[in-house]
A and B are shown apart, each in its own frame.
Chain A
């Protein structure tokens, strides 16, 4: 079984190799979850792992979030463009987080390793992970007001992090001196290095056993087979164009500016084309999604409609053409800020899903709540020990032909786990007073939307600050389908039930200093309903 024929590997060996790489990706994922220091990795799963061809095509992945589907292949390709394949030696690892090379934002730092077998570059393994901090103007990133990349933090562009099995001490030192939570960042970086090392070992062992040429040709055939099936699925759809658009809440700087995001999806033969005509120009603030991230967001939505549960490879990504308008919200030029890219990226995925929903009655749903989460933190050590609680909040997803919508984390995330009240109260000076379903949040329908949640945080100590993300509160994306109603958007209430109660909709970097015993109530949005509500015929 070690033949190196160029055409036609046998189907059994092919399956054996394909499943070995999926297993490798699972193993890398497990290492990150089990050893990371940062709740954004072990609970939120804001990371992705992938095994890729020597040219950067996706062979196998096991991401925590959907948004990364096209980002890791693109990241490896930008590295190959910068360095050329001969630059990649056995035992090396590289680091990159420049959003214009990776597609997301500067907090998502990719570590990747070439797999070298018998002196030849045969594959890459890669891990991208959201770091707790990369320096920049605000702790933990997500600075919605940054106007250029340079304000957002420490930027890497495919530098060598590990040099023939030796971590580059000067670089590690530089990192430690430029991030706010250096222990946490180093712990996470260790997890990334460990995952890459194990991944590279596994792929090398597979090449040793079957021959690198057999591994490569097997994966080529698996990718080709997937692409052909996807093409058939698309060919079976009627040719048509669907457009969905939304007016975002504001651009991060000027409350009066409502950037517009518009996606048109055209099914033509065996391909789908996405275009963004009518989309606004580059935002002043950081609410921009670079071209790689925009493409990835479209691809994630389409993958879920076409093949929701099968392991992803490059074949799922090749039948989609994406036209990116220059200097736009969805394709800014360096160095425009992109720290709040997620607001745009999640909306792109949602719009794509909504637009194509009529063609996919069995895998689509009505609209869902959008990115919503808060930070409670203390930076000033004179007020008490610094901490940062980052809490992405679950909400309602759209109803669909087979049932009510679910309550879970938003579309752009994935296997993101919420923070148990008992863990929160053990680890932070915060008390959780309630975690409940918000029954009035869901869009009505024969299948109603999923409920949002109500979550109350009581601040126990002085010096605690609040910032939060929220989006699509004015032009709500939790749109009903087939006659269903729209879900209610997410909002925050400061000090509910008191004289100084305050309802907050618009996201902000700085909601002020809270006093001990102040309560912050987060109420997430519900999902859109599907079908005309009963009794409304």
Chain B
């Protein structure tokens, strides 16, 4: 293990079973460590893992990816929430948007509301779409509601009033009364969580925030208290779903922004890696035990979305646009009623896991197929910590796939891997081609336990010619969290046509948002002059409903005469790229204005790999990459020299990761220890 010295920057990524730590010292020496995690002892384990990295006072930056918010929702362990709405609208949370997305399922039913009807109360007030007040709030009425909620023993309150995105006055007034009468009960206002129109989506986001708020707050208080006791003085930075970090007080007020904290870390790390390698467009693929999570870096920027769904419940707010499908090592292969081979979405999980793990699993999984194809070494899995059971894998695949389909065992294994690969490729196609992007213009960055096993074949399927299997892939998300800037997003819904007379208003709104964002970051002690601002607008053709987010350059705001043509041109280019040319035209309309402020943190650097002699293959073992098993060289990643070429077919192993180099591909370690794979076919070969 590397010796660290001097001041340290540290990131901790809490996962299901481990906390991954990455620490970097002043000499760019890196230390990677894992600490087992359990939900009930998280703070102690966090402190224990941290203590091993160095003395508390040496740590100058401490960033934390957390699953507390998402686990609270997934396990339905959140607070008893009361909801306060505008009169006439308390059922919006339950009614949702009314669509049946399984359209032929006559029993389709959305998940039940997180707040039952008895806990949803109404205030007789009304703000209009343009922000004018139609009916004023009565503090006496709100006081009565507070008392009623007290009687109902709520632990948190969500306040979502109509049109609060246009004017938050009433939400503020209601929250004031509730807080005064109900000390100790958390209150979330919808315009703080998401000042955007559409009351169901905003209510849902607000309720989810309230639902996780008390538990998240308790966790953060305990953690900061412990860190304080242990002598840590660096402010804790909490990773959020948009790929930036937040201060503790801010994260405490909007925990719903941390839902995708961990996966966002991997994408930030991919962006940093792509930047250091001069890659403009990257597909970021995290192949885990149960899911395949994919996101994009385009022109050096992470592709984001502004709405996600968690168990059919919408959450508004900027999030790294991650698509997750049930395709990982533990995904189960099965034959459906009409004899079609399927892989996933069900997973054997960690327990019992794939049949070859020997924990009692009997279903055929992707990992079982990869073992039988020789991709994995039964004796050396996880550095030999776990022996894999070949006979159990054979029995599972024979019974569940080979026999029902009349295939040989090898054909069945190849089929399983290929179907999993197809599912992954379809997910990548969906997110690229739907944006008018050609996956062949991307490099593929693969991480997670199964990334190296799928990288080259997935690339081949997509026509991608370059794959990167990063160094220390097992702590890749933590690395990304360490590289995440402080960032704060603000947005506001303002619907107007993009015409000369609207420019001044738009500039004013953007300037206000920018000021608010800067104030927010400065409030947490970040230097005001280091805040970088990014402006954007959600734009559409007047008449359309859905929008395209268009970046607004700072120069356009300085010179409003350029704003109109700038936005128009950017929108038309994006729209044409995504959806093709139109035969008709119409005026443009802005729906939402957005500003992100960020304060950069120092970028960690992968240190150069020490020089060493090229290492020969450790052994040859039978591996089946195409049709049959053939003796294939197996290299040990840690014994490869920088630049040492490994031609396919070959296997490159390290303790927790295996990378396949198929025929037609070659690989080498670059100077920073990233394994670079590239297609050796001529330019047309892989471009199917």
Contacts and interface: CB of A to CB of B under 8 A. Distances in A.
Interface stretch (A36-44, A268-276, A318-326, A472-480): A36-44
Given A309-B102, A418-B97, A37 B541 contact: yes
A435 B546 contact: no
Most chain A CB neighbours (cut-off 10 Å) among B99, B429, B495, B544: B99
Nearest to A394: B98
B541 A308 contact: no
Interface in B373-429: 405, 407, 414-415, 418-419, 422-423, 426, 429
Contacts of B545: 36, 39, 42-43
A365 B107 contact: yes
A432 B163 CA distance: 12
B101 A435 contact: no
A433 interface: yes
B199 interface: yes
Interface residues of B, number: 66
Contacts of A42: 544-546
A190 B582 CA distance: 6
B495 A435 contact: no
A31 interface: yes
A317 interface: no
A483 interface: no
A42 B680 CA distance: 45
B419 A12 contact: yes
A425 B128 contact: yes
A420 interface: yes
Contact of B541 (A43, A187, A209, A423): A187
Given A11-B339, A30-B434, A363 B91 contact: no
Nearest to A132: B543
A496 B652 CA distance: 75
B495 A426 contact: yes
A15 B419 contact: yes
B104 A309 contact: yes
Contact of B106 (A11, A31, A209, A304): A304
A406 B342 contact: no
Contacts of B278: none
A12 B418 contact: yes
B337 interface: yes
Given A12-B341, A66-B104, A198-B580, A422 B98 contact: no
Contacts of B2: none
B103 A172 contact: no
B106 A190 contact: no
Given A308-B105, A416-B99, A18 B583 contact: no
Given A420-B200, A422-B197, A45 B99 contact: yes
A400 interface: yes
B543 A183 contact: yes
Nearest to A20: B426
B179 interface: no
A386 interface: no
Contacts of A190: 582-584
A414 B106 contact: no
B197 A423 contact: yes
A202 to B, nearest CB: 8
A453 B95 contact: yes
A55 interface: no
B341 to A, nearest CB: 5
A422 B162 contact: yes
A411 interface: yes
Contacts, number: 213
Contacts of A364: 106
A303 B106 CA distance: 10
Contacts of B541: 37, 187
A19 B106 CA distance: 24
Given A425-B129, A426-B495, A437 B91 contact: yes
Contact of B415 (A11, A64, A65, A433): A11
B435 to A, nearest CB: 10
A409 B580 contact: no
Nearest to A316: B104
B533 to A, nearest CB: 27
Interface in A396-430: 397-398, 400, 402-403, 406-409, 411, 413-418, 420-423, 425-427
B430 interface: yes
Interface in B422-463: 422-423, 426, 429-430, 433-434
B92 interface: yes
Interface stretch (A150-158, A223-231, A328-336, A340-348): A223-231
A50 interface: no
A189 interface: yes
A421 B495 CA distance: 15
A471 to B, nearest CB: 19
A536 interface: no
Contact of A353 (B90, B106, B544): B106
A434 B586 CA distance: 34
B583 A414 contact: no
Interface in B541-583: 541, 543-546, 575, 578-580, 582-583
B98 A418 contact: yes
Given A31-B579, A421-B162, A437-B91, A411 B106 contact: yes
A432 B134 CA distance: 13
B89 interface: yes
Nearest to B543: A37
Nearest to B688: A209
Contacts of A436: 88-91
A363 B544 contact: no
A416 B96 CA distance: 11
B571 to A, nearest CB: 13
Given A15-B340, A187-B584, A228-B338, A418 B422 contact: no
A434 B88 CA distance: 4
Contacts of B339: 11, 225
A39 B579 CA distance: 18
A213 interface: no
Contacts of A144: none
A173 B98 CA distance: 37
B430 A23 contact: yes
A417 to B, nearest CB: 4
B110 interface: yes
A342 to B, nearest CB: 15
Contacts of B92: 435
B275 interface: no
A421 B160 CA distance: 13
Contact of A19 (B110, B117, B426, B433): B426
B91 A63 contact: no
Contacts of B100: 408-409, 413-416
B221 to A, nearest CB: 36
B94 interface: yes
Contact of A420 (B108, B199, B407, B415): B199
B511 interface: no
A484 B411 CA distance: 53
A506 interface: no
B198 interface: yes
A184 interface: yes
Contacts of A39: 545
23 contacts: A10-B415, A11-B340, A34-B546, A184-B543, A187-B544, A190-B584, A226-B338, A229-B337, A229-B338, A304-B105, A308-B104, A308-B106, A309-B104, A353-B106, A397-B106, A400-B107, A414-B101, A418-B95, A421-B199, A422-B162, A426-B495, A427-B495, A437-B117
Interface of A: 10-12, 14-16, 18-20, 23, 26-27, 30-31, 33-39, 42-43, 45, 63-66, 69, 167, 172, 183-184, 186-187, 189-191, 193-194, 197-198, 209, 222, 225-226, 228-229, 300, 303-305, 307-309, 312, 353, 363-365, 394, 397-398, 400, 402-403, 406-409, 411, 413-418, 420-423, 425-427, 431-437, 453, 456
Given A416-B100, A436-B89, 6 more contacts: A35-B575, A42-B544, A416-B98, A417-B98, A417-B99, A435-B92
